[in-house]
Amino acid sequence: MNESSIITLILMAVFFAAMILVGIRSRKHASDINGFVLGSRQVGPWLSAFAYGTSYFSAVIFVGYAGQFGWNFGLASTWIGLGNAFIGSLLAWVILGRRTRIMTQHLSSKTMPDFFGTRYESKGLKTAAALITFVFLIPYTASLYNGLSRLFSMAFPGVDYTVCVIIMAVLTGVYVIVGGYMATAWNDFIQGIIMLFGIVAVIGAVLHDNGGLMEAMKGLATGSEGGWEFASFLGPNPLFLLFVVILTSLGTWGLPQMVGKFYAIKNEGSIKKGTIISTFFAIIVAGGCYFLGGFGRLYHVDVKAEGFDAVIPEMLSSLPAVIIGIVIVLVLSASMSTLSSLVLTSSSTMTLDLIAPVRKKEMGEKKQLFIMRLFIVAFVAVSAGIAIVQAKSRSLFIAQMMGVSWGALAGAFLAPFLYGLYWKKTTKASVLVSFVWGVGLEIVQLLVSLKLLDVSGSAFLSFVFNNSIYSGVIAMVGGLVIVPVVSLLSRKTCPKGTEEMFSCYQANRTVGITDNLGK
């Protein structure tokens, strides 16, 4: 075992020990449903902000997206990170944070499907949303392991990647099962700190390895793999860059595991502070990841043969052993934080929104908690299994399914959730149409990607389904148009109790006053 492997192993052992300790210490917060799923809605600004950020940015971004889009756009890929910070974080907290927290507590909603069912007075919508969440979160969860494969092979040559997947899956499952939401929140905080310092250290090391910032930019513009456009303001393909910014930034507004962070936040002050902290975190982590990826063309990588996932590992392979160890822990942190959020969201949705409602006998809290924990085990095992199969077989179906998951979830949920918080006249029919639109569009994308459906005869359809990035953006933006239009055409399906639902935003309080005797 070489020096790099030993240092990485020590850092990983300390990291894993801290994760388990946090899980054990958080047991007292996981004794009932509200505590296990939402931390009793008493999570402060720092934990909430870091939980949001670490759930947002995983190994998929650090290794996959940073490598792919950094290679395609050069330094202009930094705009993606800034879009994630100001649209995916700042605007999301400003527009969704407060209203989500107030209304979900008023409606006693613990999950996004639960919100749809209560807000639109429809058990059918609740069930449909739960099924969509279940179907599309599994492949999305499996994709989190992808970025670890090459980095793990670099740090531990000769050790099977399966070992890393299993260790990561087991340890994540343990601390989520034991400590619930509070364990994930505290671990997200620790993992977030690692990500902040880790990305700064890696950027510094890579730039130093290339002679500093100006020399690196010069090399990017004049090197054999580069060109002036890769060191330019908007890169070689501004339109595609814009679509990537929209998908990766606006898409978070409709993802159950992201919006769920607003359910648990403590109070008004926490929302204001959390907005600032979350935005700062995103600027450093997301902006840093894509900025780092922008220098990928300084390294000789055969992306056609090895894929874009080889770009970041190649950039890091020549760095000092300590930096490589930090990177491995950084990527593990990013992956485990997102994984814990996804499995908690999936298990709570399955238990509270699918199983509990169809049971003839009412389920007690202890039984619901037990079932949730069983589903956490199942989701972790299935997602790890899919990731291992994908790594060994390179299954095209699994890879494409992972690609459309984000678009399907955000395309189906974003518009109904946003309008549900702000517009009383949003109807059940419009929500159903949005579900069909988002999921339907991404199923067509899957069929086109697998070459089971040919749309080459239409220039417009060829553009839409040329890439899951395009179809994902069209699914989200289309939903924002579809919901108000269909709502105006289907007023009879508007829920009857909206006035009472929206009263939570205008609650009156009676206070005592001191009589004024005047002059």
Least confident of 83-87, 276-280, 400-404: 400-404
Predicted local confidence at residue 350, as pLDDT: 86
Q: Which tens digits make up the pLDDT trace of 445-482?
A: 989 988 888 988 888 899 888 888 899 999 999 999 99
Residues 6+ apart with CB under 8 A from 75: 217, 220, 230, 231, 232, 235, 291, 294, 295
Report whether pLDDT(297) > 60: yes
Contact between 445 and 453 under an 8 Å Cβ cutoff? The reply is no
pTM: 0.89
Domains of the chain: residue spans and CATH? 3-390 (1.20.1730.10), 395-505 (no CATH)
Confidence of residue 112 (pLDDT cuts 50, 70, 90): very high
Distance CA 35, CA 32 (A): 5
* Cα-based angle 404, 94, 119 (whole degrees, multiple of 5): 65
DSSP 8-state code for residue 163: H
Predicted local confidence at residue 507, as pLDDT: 63
Predicted local confidence at residue 2, as pLDDT: 65
Residues 6+ apart with CB under 8 A from 359: none
Residue whose tokens read 């069983």: 374
